[in-house]
Structure 1
Amino acid sequence: MSVLNRISGIRGKVIGIVLVVTLMLSILTIVYIQTTLQSALAEQLEQKAVSIARDVASRSIDMILSNNFYTMHRLARDTMENNQDVSYVIFLQNDKVLADTFLGGFPTDLAPANPLTPDKRFSLARVQTEEGILRDVAVPVLGMDGVVVRVGVLDHSIKTTLSSATRQLLLISALTFLLGSFTAYLLTTLIVIRPISILSKSVQDVSRGDLTRQVRVKSHDELSELAGAFNTMVKRLATAHRVRNRLLKKIIHTQEEERRRIARELHDETGQTLMTLMIALSQIEDSETVSDLKKYTREFRTLLLHTLESVRLLAWKLSPIPLADLGLKAAVELFIKKYSRNDNWKIEFQADGFDKKRLSPEIETAVYRVVQEALTNAAKHAQARNVSVIMKCDDQNVVVIIEDDGNGFDVSAVKEEGIFNTCLGLASMDERISLVGGTLNIESAAHGTTIYIKIPLNYSGGD
């Protein structure tokens, strides 16, 4: 199996699903945590800014009273150095700068950004700058009219914390993906790939003709159901294979029986007739008078016509053209008329239900051949004088009853002695009917024989 096929296989798809799910969860987690953490850190930073401003205001009271601007400036610088987020510290009195941490002077646009009214304990303003969001906190100095301390803080710590948290989350996501992929690889190999590989190998063995393969899966999931369905399919294929072999043997046996029957008819009828013709030719050759010659010639012509009719009848038996063109009823009726023309017997024929529909070629051929064989047996072996052929067809079955008044035989004795398959074409008749899913029963005594045939029309093959 190539690398591409392995990647696009089940394992690759499962690992791909794990990757997609991990990536989606990581993105959602990072977005959620960043939003939540940023809000919490921003609130914490603002509280810290207010606390720093109040601390500076309380510590600067004495400095303001003594007008010690240097100490005030030093306090502002120390506050910035001790708090990395603090961007500036300003001391204002009536909008006049007393001290600040700006090297280039106090920005004029910053003064009106966060006005403090007398009724407020502090004022917080957010200003968007190039470095980020600036939070400006103004706190009044107690006891000092108009004196305000303003502290500005940037969100550098928030960005640093968010960046660190994001890196940690990405690392955790990568570890989760690796662990999930490894777990998915093991699970798919043990639970999915291995049973599927066993099933695939079994399918290949069955495709090569091994119908003894059975798959054993210990799990109780869809794969076990698939393995069970495969085992059932293989059993049915094996059964169908055995049935096919049996049917093939039956067909071969039926063909051999048909050949033996044709050989018997050629030997018994055509052969004897040809021998009679040879005798008649000898009589013609030995004729001494013209009257004897004419007499033997007429007899020879009669024998020749009888032989020709026998050959035509044999050809009719081998390939009944009306069966394919006209259907079962017309073919049997025409065969009875031709067959009863040469013998001193009477055949009654009755057929119901065959006018509105045609049967399958297999059923029509089987019934026709059995009727043909039964009439041949009744004429040659039973020496019957009266025969009745009744055929009925409905939506479910075809029923055929053939009854004669000739010499009977002991059916059970014939079966017990093992000659059922070798005499009277009975084996051929039984196999023909069984090939189309029907049953053939024979009842006979000292006088008369009855053959019952029943074929279901919904038969689709089997034992």
Structure 2
Amino acid sequence: MWNWSGSDLKLRLTLRVAAVSTLCFAAISGYFLIDSDRSVRARIAAVADVAAKTLELQQSKIQWLNNTRSEFPDLDSVAASVMTPGLCLAFRSNSGEISQRFCGGAQTDKAAPPLAFAALYRRLFDPGREAVRPVVSRGNAIGEAVAWIDPAVPTAEAWHDAGRLMAVFMIALPLLCALVYAALARALRPTRLIRDGLERIAAGDLTARLPPFDLAELSAIGDVFNHLAERLAAALSDRNALTQKLILVQDDERRHLARELHDEFGQSLAAIRALAASARLTAAQDCPPLLAECDGIARTATDMMEALRGALFRLRPPDIDELGLAASLEGLIAGWNGRSRGQPRFEIAISGSFERIPASTGANLYRIVQEALTNAAKHAGATRVMLRLEMRETAPSGGDGEIALAIDDDGRPGDLPVKTGMGLLGMRERVAALGGRLSFEAGQSNGSSLRVIVPVAVSPDATPVERAA
């Protein structure tokens, strides 16, 4: 059974044209066969009429001359003028006896039709049916003039005519299909532009526009496409602006929270440590059994101070404007390795200069790396994490460039960052606000890969550097 779901539109329309053409050919062939049978029957009926009139004149002449020796019936004159191949002419008396009969021989130059066609044709048209006309003399019927044709003759003629029509059809149909397919291919050529435009839109290129088309239907589609692209571009621009504002508010809130924790909670922990030290001095003199409790309070306060430092570091990253993106990321990697208890599992490779990138770009990239490392280390249980940061120039003269960020780890599969913290959604929002692209792939066995491409204006006097840690 033909599967139409994935077939080409041009092929489908061409096949439909071929099917309609076949039906039209069948209808035309049927019309010709019916018309041919009607013509044959009309000719036989005319022959029977002529024969009946001739016999009536002969009978009248015999009666008028009272010539009983004249031959009756005499169909020689009629047969000589109307006889054709396969035609039979006879006079049948009232008793049913055939008094005279003439038959023309069948043509031998035409091939015999197939038995199936002959049986079908005879069932549909009954070509051997007789045409009967009464012969009347003095108001009484004295017999019948009968004309018929051998069924093999019209059957062979019908097969011959059908064969010629079939030959014409077999030549015309492929030519018609080829012309229709070519015309459809030319008319539907703009659909490639529409598909390319849709693919560009799906890839995030909202600058894609369609040119005007000659066909009114395709031109309407192009207008709707262009309007939709403009609306999407405007909506994306508004969304990016809103995202940037939300990110700024979020970062300000984080800085404010970090400052409050440092000023209030940090000072409280420092006071607890000082009180624990003072209490230890007093306990050493007056109550030695309390030394263990004082030391425990001091250790707890110290652990809380370390946890607070980690939280402050995540809430308020180093000043990227002063240190730069590369140095800030190297410090982030060093901090993670420092917390790995002597087993470094984080690596970083930096290529290119990041001194002149906008502050917002550097801050967002830092946050993305920070979130990705947290997900890989704490939630995916990765033992090795590789960070690559590269500045690429897309124009030989400088100006336009892009930052490529790649993070690969060997963590557990299925632990997508979308389930933890800011997650993949937050990363996508930051990348979208920068006008970039993000992709995340989790391996079937283990590990995952994060790829980020962010466009950026590259200063021509920036000095490229390469370093790895």
- Provide the TM-score with structure 2 as the length reference: 0.41
- Provide the TM-score with structure 1 as the length reference: 0.42
